[in-house]
Amino acid sequence: MKIKILILISSFIFCCIHAQVLYNYPTGQDFYEGGRQAYNNDIQKAIIKNNLKPCAKTEALFMRFIVYPDNKVKYVSDDDSDAVENNKCMKDKVLEVMKDMKNWKAAELNGNKTAAMFCTLFTDDLLFKGEFSEDEFSKPVYMHKDKESNIMKFRENFVKCFDATGYKSNIDYSFTINFDVNTKGEAGFFYIDNESNLEKFNKMVVDCASNTKKSYWKPSYYKGVPIKQVFRMPIRFNAN
């Protein structure tokens, strides 16, 4: 029996983990009552209430939070120390705003409330206008042998790295690997949806999606400020 590996790369998105916390909200569920629009509206109300001002320089910071079953929210500390230090004004302002946000909505799984994460790229455009300027974004660039390449080269390198020898199944198997590309271009914060029960298999998935000496990333930018981006890569094994 031969196993074929089919890899589908999704587009870049904005928006490892303790077993009791979902990596993201289940499809169709919102982390805030009224959805993103209500969330953005309440952010702007908090900005006005606290008389907060734009940062002295352009800052942009990707931040993760966990909403717990009791609807309380907690910031997830970021190990990208450069990003946090270079955007300290933004971080402090967002954490101040979060104190006035009251309508958090816990995720539900099988009818039970459960802790789950959500993430947002915070900028003064979002805080004060409730929007981003799409023209100001630049996506991460995949580098291979010191030359700019594209997502197809990343997929090609992943396939070459992934050795399916010895992993056989009589049924189709699919999973999704999620990871960040941080402001240094480093791949990290790996999380596998529907992961295998084979530790070596899961390690190979992460290793093949990681930076190497020959292949790495240049980070994404917003208005010239390096920002974190999230990748979501569905993978499917077809057994035949």
Q: What is the pLDDT of residues 119-173, one digit of tens each?
A: 999 999 999 988 888 889 999 999 999 999 988 899 899 888 988 777 666 677 7
Out of 10-24, 36-50, 52-66, 153-167, pick the least confident: 10-24
Tokens of 21: 């916390």
Q: What is the pLDDT of residues 177-197, one digit of tens each?
A: 899 999 999 999 999 988 888
Count structural domains, the chain. Answer: 2
Residue 213 confidence (pLDDT): 92
pTM: 0.86
Category of 28 on φ-ψ map: left (φ > 0), alpha (ψ -120 to 50) or beta: left
Q: Minimal CA–CA distance to 177: which of 169, 143, 161?
A: 161
Question: Rounded mean pLDDT of the chain?
Answer: 88
Residue 18 confidence (pLDDT): 45
| Residues 103 and 154 reside in one and the same domain | no
Which residues span the domain enclosing 158?
3-14+137-239
| Residues 41 and 107 reside in one and the same domain | yes
Q: Minimal CA–CA distance to 224: which of 54, 93, 58?
A: 58
